[in-house]
């Protein structure tokens, strides 16, 4: 279906703000006030963003800031989720999209999860003709970027 990605992310950020109140996290939403139409399987794509933001929450210190920045480009819309958490060593970064890969086994055990979230995210985003990348500084924070093409309708100017 055709969905307004900005609106979906706005709602998602609000939901995370509510369910993480006890962690004192700050959610900075940089989402433009204009419709950004994408043709997506809404449940699946929102499951991807849910995992990305859950990771940001999971690996952030209490009181940290999580930024969700949506940048409309000419053909695609870019969504960057940035946290101030533990980060990922450079050599591990290419592996985080592998099934069952988790950076630190001890840390992973404490925090739970299966190591499937980002592998599924990559498959799903690529099946929507988009891409996903991760960039991180160990002990400083992580940015996950997702790029999705606009809806075909919007490109033809049918949806304004
Ligand atoms: P699941 O998503 O299946 O519950 P998971 O969160 O461990 O488990 P992924 O979402 O695939 O798995 O992430 C893989 C690994 O990448 C994580 O175990 C973690 O080590 C690392 N990682 C992912 N996002 C972050 C982040 N924002 N900050 C630090 N490390 C991260
Ligand atoms: Mg995860």
Residue to mutate, 52, 96, 97, ligand 1, most ligand atoms under 8 Å from C-beta? 96
Give the residue, by CA position, lying nearest to ligand 1 atom 4.
113
Give the span between the Cα atoms of 38 and 5, in whole angstroms. Answer: 6
Distance 136 CA to ligand 1 centre (A): 12
What is the 3-state secondary structure of 93-119?
HHHHHCCCCCCCHHHHHHHCCCCCHHH
pLDDT (0 to 100) of residue 156: 57
Q: What is the value of pTM for the model shown?
A: 0.93
Element (H, E) at 135: strand 131-137
Altogether, the residues listed in the chain come to a count of 160
pLDDT tens, per residue, the chain with 160 residues: 999 999 999 999 999 999 999 999 999 999 999 999 999 999 999 999 999 999 999 999 999 999 999 999 999 999 999 999 999 999 999 999 999 898 877 676 667 778 899 999 999 999 999 999 999 999 999 999 999 999 986 555 555 5
pLDDT (0 to 100) of residue 152: 84
Nearest ligand atom owner, CA of 59: 1
Distance 45 CA to ligand 2 centre (A): 14
Nearest ligand atom owner, CA of 94: 1
Residue 88 burial by Cβ neighbours in a 10 Å radius (0-12, 13-18, 19+): buried
Structure letter (DSSP) for residue 151: P
Taking a 5 Å cut-off on Cβ, the residues next to ion ligand 2 are 51, 55, 117
pLDDT (0 to 100) of residue 70: 98
Tell which atom from ligand 1 comes closest to the C-alpha of 56.
27
């Amino acid at each position: 279906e055709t969905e307004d990605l900005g609106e979906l992310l706005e709602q998602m950020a609000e939901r995370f703000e509510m369910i993480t109140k006890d962690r004192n996290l700050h959610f900075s939403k940089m989402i433009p006030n204009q419709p950004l139409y994408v043709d997506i399987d809404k449940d699946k794509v929102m499951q991807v963003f849910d995992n990305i933001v859950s990771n940001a929450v999971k690996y952030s210190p209490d009181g940290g800031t999580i930024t969700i920045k949506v940048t409309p480009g000419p053909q695609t819309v870019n969504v960057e989720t940035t946290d101030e958490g533990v980060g990922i060593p450079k050599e591990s970064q290419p592996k985080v999209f592998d099934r069952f890969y988790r950076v630190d086994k001890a840390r992973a055990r404490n925090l739970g999860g299966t190591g499937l979230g980002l592998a599924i995210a990559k498959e799903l985003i690529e099946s929507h003709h988009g891409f996903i990348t991760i960039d991180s500084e160990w002990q400083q924070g992580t940015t996950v970027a997702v790029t999705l093409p606009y809806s075909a309708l919007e490109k033809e100017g049918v949806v304004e």
